[in-house]
Amino acid sequence: MSPARPSFANWPCSIARTVDVLGDAWSSLLLREAFYGSSRFEEFQRELGIARNTLTDRLRRLVDEGLMEKRRYESEPPRYEYVLTEKGRDFFPVLAALSRWGDRWLAGEEGAPVTLHHDTCDHDAHAEVVCSACGEPMRSENTSVRMGPGYPEHLRTRPDIVRRFTQT
């Protein structure tokens, strides 16, 4: 038996906390399928080929974390659908960014397997991370990290932490 995965839920890092909630492939793929329009257990299972016990576990986790809501759509026998909440819908840009990266680095010569169509302007498009203040693209070479207001006070003066946030 493999050891339990460590929890990142209390780390002072939103990436680590997100990975703690959605750090397995099935969770992200379930959210993708929900964006594609799937909402019922059988649809998720059919589209992903996921084992029933794994699907049950991941749907429960997404509901518990508030990304999906479980709604009854039939009384006899009781049947449920799983719909994205606001928190779940807010994960779309993350999936779009993953798709963009995969299109660039993993797609073959034939091109992207799926394209995103921006209905507002009626164009095919890709995700772009831009600065919320100036609108310019954010890239690793023009972006640095700083301690935010939620960084734990007791860690702010540790020499290794100070070095991490003052590197150029």
Per-residue pLDDT tens over the stretch 96-112: 999 999 999 999 999 99
Together in a domain, 25 and 82: yes
Domain match, 75 and 39 both: yes
Whose structure tokens read 């799983």? 82
**Stretch 11-34: mean pLDDT, rounded?**
93
d(CA 15, CA 138): 17
**Host domain of residue 101:** 92-128
40-76 tens-digit pLDDT: 999 999 999 999 999 999 999 999 999 999 999 999 9
Structure tokens, 158 = 């540790």
Classify residue 138: in a domain, yes or no.
no
CB contact at 8 A, 67 and 88: yes
Of 1-10, 12-21, 111-120, 158-167, give the range with the top mean pLDDT.
Answer: 111-120
Sign of CA dihedral 86, 27, 97, 167: positive
Can you give the pLDDT at residue 5?
76
